[in-house]
Amino acid sequence: MSTAAVAVWLSTVVTILSRSHADRNVYPSAGVLFVHVLEREYFKGEFPPYPKSGDASNDPITFNTNLMGYPDRPGWLRYIQRTPHSDGVLYGSPTAEHVGKPTVIEITAYNRRTFETARHNLVINIMATEEFPLPYQAEFYIKNMNVEEMLASEVLGDFLGAVKNVWQPERLNAINITSALDRGGRVPLPINNLKEGVYVMVGADVPFSSCLREVESPHNQLRCSQEMEPVISCDKKFRAQFHIDWCKISLVDITKVIPVYINRPDPGTGILPEFGEYDPPSESLKSRDYFADFLVTLAIPSAVALVLFFILGYTMCCRREGVEKRNMQTPDIQLVHHSSIQKSTKELRSMSKNREISWPLSTLPVFNPVSGEVVPPIHPDNYETTSMPLMQTQTVQSGPWDEFVKCKN
């Protein structure tokens, strides 16, 4: 395809490409791809230059775009900027619903070196076109392109020229461009110069060519199911610059698409209608008395707690046996044991304070182990026993030798 032919064909393409200017009006057409480039070179004049004259200014500049009065852009408009040192791009495909409604986009440029900002407005006036919508639409998946590379006017023009050669339509428009990441694609590995991939939708006024319909053949469908590349005769016209995944091509004839009307159920009185203003209830509603509910909520737990309190008090206070009843039911020998243990404990505690005391009563028998009768101590309490050994000397019977010694003495 010669350069002159490409120039003549590009004059027929309705795709709109514009440059960034301050407070500029643009007039895209509904159903046609709109691309607006935010050039960093233009916004550099809004910021102060470097301190040294003659130095090349390469400030990192980022852009923020939003619909005037709102935090985000319209649903049909997208924005991309790969790095702060590259230009930003606004792109999208407006629909017929936005025709006749001026859309004001606020563009704010941020200088990351000086932290200064510059703001401009872009007024988008969407125009209606008789050619919209084109009846035959084809969507291609290009594997070796990123979305910002595909949005360049030269690259997009080359792709549309290749499509025109294999389709031969009278009118051909780029309808929409979508990154593969927006379709659920994965971020490629940073090796071998891999790209994210991009979907490009084009529309024409003539039926699809035989080359485009080759992918629908049973042989190619089988190859696609086996993850093999289909055999397409016109692939060589794209392969030099664009690597197309023919298994993901989508061909839609909107003249044969049957509209589906969904019968929505009656929303009823509890759901607001789709249109109209909100009508709040009147202020004449009767007030409700919650005093009775409060009493019921408070009285039932209080009554249960009071009953449990009385049951616990009766069990703790009125069901006690007492010391006297316990002693009457306890055998005397067990009481003697208990009292002797208490008495011995007291004596041991007093002995730890003063060692110059009388013989401890705890070392003497206090009762007969057979009859249980209390046995009085061997010596009175006032008897000096500090020099008494702990164990009494046993009496040993004298033998014949002892009697002989005693008589001789």
Q: Domain check: are 119 and 231 in the same one?
A: no
Give the containing element (helix H, strand E) for 201. Answer: strand 198-204
Average pLDDT over residues 277-291: 78
Q: How far apart are CA 39 and CA 127, in angstroms?
A: 25
pLDDT given for residue 310 in this prediction: 92
Give the model's pLDDT for residue 200.
Answer: 94
Identify whether 294 is part of a domain.
Answer: no
Query: Which one is predicted more confidently, 10 or 205?
Result: 205
At residue 59, the pLDDT reads: 82
* 270/141 same-domain check: yes
Q: Is residue 216 part of a domain?
A: yes
**Pair 106, 28 in one domain:** yes
Confirm whether 251 is domain-assigned: yes
What is the C-alpha to C-alpha distance for residues 196 and 188, in angstroms, rounded to an integer? 6
Domain boundary among the residues 250, 274, 298 is at 274
265: exposed, middle or buried (C-beta count within 10 Å: 0-12, 13-18, 19+)? exposed
pLDDT at 40 over 60: yes
The answer to the question of residue 90 being in a domain is yes
State the helix-helix crossing angle for 153-167 and 3-10, rounded to 10 degrees.
100
pLDDT band at 24 (very low <50, low <70, confident <90, very high): confident
Query: Coil, helix or strand for 203?
Result: strand
Residue 21 has a pLDDT of: 46
Residue 47 falls within a domain, yes or no? Answer: yes
pLDDT digits (tens, 9 = 90+) for 111-160: 888 888 888 899 999 888 777 778 899 999 999 899 999 998 899 999 99
**260 and 180 in a common domain:** yes
Number of structural domains found in the chain: 2
Give the confidence band of 191 by pLDDT, cuts at 50, 70, 90.
Answer: confident
* Per-residue pLDDT band at 386 (split at 50, 70, 90): very low
Q: Supply the DSSP symbol for 53.
A: T
Establish if 269 belongs to a structural domain.
Answer: yes
Percentage of residues in the chain with pLDDT exceeding 90? 28
CATH number at residue 61: 2.60.40.10
State the pLDDT confidence band at 4, using cuts at 50, 70 and 90: very low
Is the model more confident about 307 or about 260? 307
Please answer whether residues 107 and 38 qualify as being in contact, where contact means their C-beta atoms are separated by less than 8 angstroms. Answer: yes
- Which pLDDT score is estimated for 308? 95
Q: What is the pLDDT of residue 287?
A: 79
Residue-wise pLDDT tens digits, 316-372: 887 776 777 777 777 888 878 888 898 998 888 888 776 655 555 555 555 565 565
| 39 has pLDDT over 70 | yes
What is residue 336's predicted lDDT score, i.e. its pLDDT? 84
User: Domain residues for 210?
Assistant: 133-274
pLDDT digits (tens, 9 = 90+) for 169-187: 888 889 999 999 988 888 8
Could you tell me if 142 and 234 lie in one domain?
Answer: yes
Q: What is the pLDDT of residues 236-254, one digit of tens each?
A: 888 888 999 999 999 988 8
pLDDT of residue 331: 84
Residue 243 is part of a domain; what is its CATH number? 3.30.70
Residues 144 and 37 both lie in one domain: no
User: Tokens in use for 147?
Assistant: 């979305």
* Average of per-residue pLDDT values in the chain: 78
pLDDT at 201: 93
Q: Which residue has the higher pLDDT, 320 or 288?
A: 288
Residues 113 and 182 in one domain: no
What is the mean pLDDT of the segment spanning 47-66? Answer: 73
Q: How far apart are CA 161 and CA 146, in angstroms?
A: 19
- Domain final residue pick, 95, 129, 163: 129
Structural domain includes residue 267? yes
Residues 171, 103, single domain; the answer is no
- Whether residue 221 is contained in a domain is answered as yes
Highest averaged pLDDT of the listed ranges 32-46, 347-361, 374-388: 32-46
Looking at the structure, tell me whether residues 46 and 22 fall in a common domain. Answer: yes
From 68-72, 98-102, 156-160, the region with the lowest mean pLDDT: 98-102
Q: Are residues 142 and 269 in the same domain?
A: yes
pTM above 0.85, yes or no: no
pLDDT at 289 over 80: yes
Are 248 and 194 members of one domain?
yes
Q: What's the confidence (pLDDT) of residue 259?
A: 63
Last residue of a domain, one of 259, 274, 289: 274
* 125 plus 140 within the same structural domain: no
Which of 165-179, 200-214, 394-408 shows the lowest per-residue confidence on average (mean pLDDT)?
Answer: 394-408
Q: What is the mean pLDDT of residues 78-83?
A: 92
Secondary structure (DSSP) of 91-146: EE---GGGTT--EEEEEEEEETTT--EEEEEEEE--B--TTPSPSEEEEEEETT--
